[in-house]
């Protein structure tokens, strides 16, 4: 089988295509032929060792000093079960599934082995493979932080970077909960985020949300461009700042923000539990969480997809069509 691997940290040119032996599942595993996967912000950050402020050393120690310890990137997939171990009960050959290996990666390949309970579920039948492949990364990250913030109906939330994979999911989930959603994005993405549930759109190129006098119960920062210090005056007393791409300043602010300002900073890695992926799948099946796909690339053009995500201008997800 073919897989893309990361030879070193750097630009898209460090990605190489190689032929490896197709793996065989153990007794409690399934082999999935990947039909679609994605290139998301986590993939390009890992490829480039582009870690949040102050997290470079920690990031390299965790993921690999000179190159990624797991060289095959890709956090999410959708595909078809082609083999199943003798003890597998949840799936059979021919089943259509979606899965979120998350930080274990390995989805930028033609096949992937999964434990039958490794965050893998039947593909929602109202979604294409490309759509199903694109819901887990953004959906689970958004849901994790919304639950940490205990966002509830009637509260006001500001989503910074509302057109990205995490931001677009955040807008939809917050709207579903019953919150009043304001979105920070470019004018070109205004119609998209309104269609997802944003009541108000702020064009960051022409308006600084921190200067408009509006305050919010929750601010979700999905881009890594704003810190709690930048945003705290836009938070109400008892407000929560979701530092989804947190650097050291926001990690430290978790310690003192409540005592000093009566406002909470929530940071740290997003959860990757079975329950989160299952909920995202159920909401997608019900039409509550709708996939947003910017571009689709054939498997051989995966480095070009990385280059596009590097621009920071993608809307929702960038999908890689591995098989047809």
> Which of these, 195, 177, 36, lies nearest to 112 by C-alpha position?
36
Contact 99, 133 (CB under 8 A): no
Tell whether the torsion through CA atoms of 84, 298, 133 and 50 is positive or negative: positive
Helix, coil or strand: residue 138: helix
138-266: CATH superfamily = NAD(P)-binding Rossmann-like Domain (3.40.50.720)
pTM metric for this prediction:
0.94
Mean pLDDT in each 10-residue stretch from start to end of the chain (324 residues)?
96 97 96 98 92 75 85 98 97 98 97 95 98 98 98 98 97 98 95 97 90 93 91 95 87 86 92 95 97 98 98 95 88
The rounded distance, in Å, linking the Cα atoms of 32 and 120 is 10
> Which of these, 235, 253, 283, 322, lies nearest to 124 by C-alpha position?
283
Name the helix (H) or strand (E) containing 149.
Answer: helix 136-149
Token pair in block for residue 17:
């295509």
Quote the pLDDT of residue 212: 86
The rounded distance, in Å, linking the Cα atoms of 291 and 309 is 17
Quote the pLDDT of residue 207: 87
User: 18-26 contacts: CB < 8 A, separation 24 or more?
Assistant: 22/110, 22/111, 23/111, 23/113, 24/83, 25/83, 25/84, 25/85, 25/88, 25/113, 26/85, 26/113
Token pair in block for residue 320:
């890689």
Quote the pLDDT of residue 58: 74
Contact 65, 151 (CB under 8 A): no
Q: How is the chain split into domains, by residue range? A: 2-134+291-321, 138-266
Q: Regarding beta strands 96-99 and 77-84, do their DSSP bridges make them parallel or antiparallel, or are they unpaired?
A: antiparallel
Contact 142, 170 (CB under 8 A): yes
CATH of 2-134+291-321, one of 3.30.43.10, 3.40.50.2000, 3.90.180.10, 3.30.1330.20: 3.90.180.10
> Which of these, 281, 321, 322, 278, lies nearest to 126 by C-alpha position?
281
Quote the pLDDT of residue 259: 85
């Amino acid at each position: 089988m073919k897989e893309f691997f990361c030879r070193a940290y750097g630009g898209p040119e460090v990605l190489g295509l190689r032929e490896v032996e197709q793996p065989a599942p153990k007794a409690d595993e399934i082999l999935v032929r990947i039909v679609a996967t994605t290139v998301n912000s986590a993939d390009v950050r890992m490829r480039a060792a582009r870690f949040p402020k102050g997290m470079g050393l920690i990031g390299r120690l965790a993921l690999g000093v000179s190159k990624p310890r797991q060289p095959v990137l890709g956090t999410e997939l959708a595909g078809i079960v082609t083999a199943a171990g003798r003890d597998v009960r949840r799936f059979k050959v021919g089943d259509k599934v979606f899965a979120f290996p998350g930080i274990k990666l390995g989805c930028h390949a033609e096949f992937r082995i999964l434990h039958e309970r490794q965050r893998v579920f039947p593909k929602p039948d109202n979604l294409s493979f490309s759509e199903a492949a694109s819901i887990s990364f953004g959906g689970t990250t958004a849901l994790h932080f919304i639950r940490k913030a205990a966002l509830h109906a009637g509260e006001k939330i500001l989503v910074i970077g509302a057109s990205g994979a995490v931001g677009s999911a955040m807008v939809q989930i917050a709207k579903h909960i019953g919150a009043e959603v304001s979105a920070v994005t470019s004018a070109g993405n205004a119609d998209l985020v309104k269609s997802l549930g944003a009541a108000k759109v702020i064009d960051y190129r022409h308006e600084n949300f921190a200067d408009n006098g509006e305050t919010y119960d929750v601010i979700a920062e999905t881009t890594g461009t704003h810190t709690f210090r930048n945003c705290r005056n836009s938070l109400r007393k008892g407000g929560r700042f979701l530092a989804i791409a947190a650097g050291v300043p926001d990690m430290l602010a978790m310690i003192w923000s409540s005592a000093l300002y009566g406002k909470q900073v929530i940071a740290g890695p997003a959860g990757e539990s079975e329950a989160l992926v299952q909920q995202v799948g159920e909401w997608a099946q019900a039409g509550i969480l709708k996939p947003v796909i910017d571009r689709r690339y054939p498997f051989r053009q995966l480095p070009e997809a990385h280059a596009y995500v590097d621009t920071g201008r993608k809307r929702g997800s960038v999908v890689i069509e591995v098989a047809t």
